[in-house]
Structure 1
């Protein structure tokens, strides 16, 4: 990852005093996941550029201790270990921590002065709506230039990847620019590479002081930075500027417990109730909830005596902790034989998932990078082979009915399918692995665009 900071302030070489890094030296700093280099590609009185280059070491990444910014959350099973915005933000604070305080020993007056700056990131993760970078940075006074990056320049027809070239131009204090980047780079990505704990609230409020309170999309920023409902609630309670109607993006103001951005509450309950009903009708006794989040489906299934063994699987250790708490597994030891929570990834075959009567993938597949879907299909239908599989996912066509139509319904979705696309995938998967498949509509059904949520019910064909 690369970040350059350029100024034309006269003399431009004063940038070195504000960043506390000498233009004639190269500074190398070790990081738990690799190393960073700070250097100056150009240092002239008319124009000076400082560069921060971050190199990730995969071996160091997997060996880093868990917890806090020092380590990844799941070093061996995480199929998205390179949260580039999060890595760059950590390296930014490590390299320019003193500059972020807004103090300069040699140029105190200059540190308090807005300077003409150009911030360039040749490649940065921007997962969400195309206007997300502008929504985040333009209210802070930047001119925003975004260039989407293709999956492969030689094959533009393959489409774009969730990375962009981002250029920000504005007249701001250097310390403010660094704090903006520190908070908003992980928000752009929507993920972090480390465990999100209570001290993240303090971090957000400290570095967001003076600009986050009045930002028109502060709810969106808070939700994507903290992800978990309890932490988001803490942060909002301490932000002093009252909410203004209409400033938050629909559906993004209140993230549910799993960290996913919420659909309408009634739809969410209707979807889970429908899945629970189909699992009960299948006659299953042993059920997998794949991508169980905080256990909302498991709590419904636990009320049905038919289900004798319930297993939830999720990549997020934090979500599993919350699920265990809400299922009261500590207070009710008699449930521990009936309910189990497993930390794992569907990107890998897992022998613990074999032999179950039924499984559910509720609003999971759209969170995967499209090229990983074949692996998940193989691992679930080809390797685990439950007798019944229930899959739900948004219907992209229905998005046209929203007051503000969007290509993707939620910022964390990697893709969404039309009805035809979903049925094509499901029928091919069923034929490839010996299943039959039926389709159901969930929620409101539009006469032209179909249901808000679509469901596929896979049944293992009898030999």
Structure 2
């Protein structure tokens, strides 16, 4: 991993002041041990007109794997421990190295020249390889509100094959004349792992304090505050809510009295006693669990299990004796394993659950013989030409007795006030069906593979546009097996 920080200067304010601010002498090359490798600091150039400090982080890949053991990694994702981008692309590893190597600069402390940290200076930051889950557009939305001029150049998957398109990496260059070095480092410390959307360590409650310290002065009013907070805290709902509430208190503390009074008057007195509506995700899981219980299933597949929320609920009910979560994403399975605390789970409980890596675009003999399978908010993430492959893999090859499928009802989207017209609910959705389209698809699948199907609304059933989520319950009679046996 590589990052450079450059500044310009003149006779009154030489660029080599950067050495004082970073507490690293421009005439030396220094190295520092980190938990996962060695950080090198050196200056490719250093004179009165221009000074550049470089941070090179050498990752010890063996140490990275060893330190990751015992954290509940997905058992079928072991290869991802060795084949990944961690040694090369900016991530939380680089952010931690920044905070360790440049800790005084991050805090805005310079004992030798105490006047320097408070002065804004021309800065240029370059990161040659930055994962950007959300693309260059998200990079602009995160950095531009903070006073940066952003250049985010997509990196091609392979320059020899331009038709393959761009990778998820960008070459990043940030420029500003209005920020202090401490502000710049705090922006990088938070936003590098946010763009990578992953962390190399377990996120605990102290991460909220780290986020608020580094985000002081800029995060409460950032237009992408919700996304930044959620990703920085690895989408842990309880921590995200805690951080959001504390950020709102900070914002109110900075507001003038008239604004606070206006906010108070805008809230009706009875609001405090009103019950908050149950989130749709919770209603969806409750509906799925009810359908599985009614079917009498004991051995259940959660296909496209994501981060393991449904698997976690299934484990609470002892009638489900075997639960398998399958997902194509090794990262999602790792998060699921941590959520379930597989590394600390008792032997009896652990014998009930497995996490598998696999794709629903292919038949998989591991999925045969189960009572029920769940496809919760999965089908809309596939390109329509690939949907027949999933249909055959689940209904034609695995053939569980019961299949539960949920998907968004696009007709209900007009009820989401914050969703622009014509937009789908999630950036990765390839399609969203009307009730008629979903029923036609389900009826075709049922007829083709010998299932009966019924439909259930999930969430408030609007008389005009229907429910927010539509659910199909497929059931195959066991007499098919008896007939074949005879």
TM-score w.r.t. the length of structure 2 is 0.67
Once residues 450 and 286 of structure 2 are traced to their aligned partners in structure 1, the CA distance between those partners, rounded to angstroms, is: 24
2:243 is aligned to: 235
Secondary structure at the aligned position of 2:45 is classed as strand
1:6 is aligned to: 6
Once residues 237 and 180 of structure 2 are traced to their aligned partners in structure 1, the CA distance between those partners, rounded to angstroms, is: 33
2:52 is aligned to: 49
Once the 2 structures are TM-superposed, how far is the Cα of residue 115 of structure 1 from its aligned partner? 0.9
Q: Are the equivalent residues in 1 in contact too, given 2:74–2:355 (CA < 8 A)?
A: no
Q: Deviations over 1:57-92 (max 9, x none)?
A: 43221112559xxx9966983648656421221121
Of residues 358, 378, 383, the one that matches 2:372 is 358
1:219 is aligned to: 226
- Say if 1:380 and 1:16 are closer, same or farther in 2 by CA, change over 3 A: farther
Secondary structure at the aligned position of 2:242 is classed as helix
Once residues 138 and 398 of structure 1 are traced to their aligned partners in structure 2, the CA distance between those partners, rounded to angstroms, is: 34
Once the 2 structures are TM-superposed, how far is the Cα of residue 5 of structure 1 from its aligned partner? 0.8
Once residues 338 and 297 of structure 1 are traced to their aligned partners in structure 2, the CA distance between those partners, rounded to angstroms, is: 12
Once residues 166 and 160 of structure 1 are traced to their aligned partners in structure 2, the CA distance between those partners, rounded to angstroms, is: 15
Matches within 5 A, 1:22-171: 22-64=25-67, 77=77, 79=80, 82=85, 84-128=90-134, 131-170=137-176, 171=178
- Say if 1:438 and 1:91 are closer, same or farther in 2 by CA, change over 3 A: farther
Return 5+ residue gaps in structure 1 as ranges. Answer: 246-263
Once residues 198 and 19 of structure 2 are traced to their aligned partners in structure 1, the CA distance between those partners, rounded to angstroms, is: 31
Once the 2 structures are TM-superposed, how far is the Cα of residue 297 of structure 1 from its aligned partner? 6.4
Secondary structure at the aligned position of 2:122 is classed as strand
Q: Deviations over 1:307-366 (max 9, x none)?
A: 4414264532332149x9xxxx99xx9xx6699344664489999977432232434688
- Say if 1:301 and 1:192 are closer, same or farther in 2 by CA, change over 3 A: closer
- Say if 1:199 and 1:416 are closer, same or farther in 2 by CA, change over 3 A: same
Secondary structure at the aligned position of 2:217 is classed as coil
Secondary structure at the aligned position of 1:164 is classed as strand
2:339 is aligned to: 319
Once the 2 structures are TM-superposed, how far is the Cα of residue 190 of structure 1 from its aligned partner? 1.9
2:269 is aligned to: none
Once the 2 structures are TM-superposed, how far is the Cα of residue 49 of structure 1 from its aligned partner? 1.5
Once residues 15 and 439 of structure 1 are traced to their aligned partners in structure 2, the CA distance between those partners, rounded to angstroms, is: 68
Moved more, 267-276 or 138-147: 267-276
- Say if 1:76 and 1:88 are closer, same or farther in 2 by CA, change over 3 A: farther
Of residues 172, 178, 188, the one that matches 1:181 is 188
Q: Are the equivalent residues in 2 in contact too, given 1:311–1:339 (CA < 8 A)?
A: no
Secondary structure at the aligned position of 2:160 is classed as coil
Of residues 430, 433, 445, the one that matches 1:417 is 430
Secondary structure at the aligned position of 2:144 is classed as helix
Once the 2 structures are TM-superposed, how far is the Cα of residue 393 of structure 1 from its aligned partner? 5.8
2:19 is aligned to: 16
- Say if 1:235 and 1:268 are closer, same or farther in 2 by CA, change over 3 A: closer
Once residues 187 and 168 of structure 2 are traced to their aligned partners in structure 1, the CA distance between those partners, rounded to angstroms, is: 21
Count of aligned positions? 420
Once residues 103 and 308 of structure 2 are traced to their aligned partners in structure 1, the CA distance between those partners, rounded to angstroms, is: 35
Once residues 273 and 417 of structure 1 are traced to their aligned partners in structure 2, the CA distance between those partners, rounded to angstroms, is: 26
Once residues 94 and 82 of structure 1 are traced to their aligned partners in structure 2, the CA distance between those partners, rounded to angstroms, is: 22
Once residues 26 and 438 of structure 1 are traced to their aligned partners in structure 2, the CA distance between those partners, rounded to angstroms, is: 69
2:262 is aligned to: none
**Structure 1 or 2: more helix by fraction:** 2
Secondary structure at the aligned position of 1:284 is classed as coil
- Say if 1:65 and 1:309 are closer, same or farther in 2 by CA, change over 3 A: closer
Once residues 413 and 168 of structure 2 are traced to their aligned partners in structure 1, the CA distance between those partners, rounded to angstroms, is: 20
Q: Deviations over 1:431-454 (max 9, x none)?
A: xxx9999898976999xx999768
Once residues 378 and 61 of structure 1 are traced to their aligned partners in structure 2, the CA distance between those partners, rounded to angstroms, is: 39
1:288 is aligned to: 301
- Say if 1:381 and 1:51 are closer, same or farther in 2 by CA, change over 3 A: farther
Q: Are the equivalent residues in 2 in contact too, given 1:100–1:176 (CA < 8 A)?
A: yes
Secondary structure at the aligned position of 1:48 is classed as strand
Q: Are the equivalent residues in 2 in contact too, given 1:442–1:454 (CA < 8 A)?
A: yes
Return 5+ residue gaps in structure 2 as ranges. Answer: 260-276, 326-332
Once residues 367 and 86 of structure 1 are traced to their aligned partners in structure 2, the CA distance between those partners, rounded to angstroms, is: 28
Once residues 94 and 395 of structure 2 are traced to their aligned partners in structure 1, the CA distance between those partners, rounded to angstroms, is: 38
Once residues 50 and 72 of structure 1 are traced to their aligned partners in structure 2, the CA distance between those partners, rounded to angstroms, is: 38
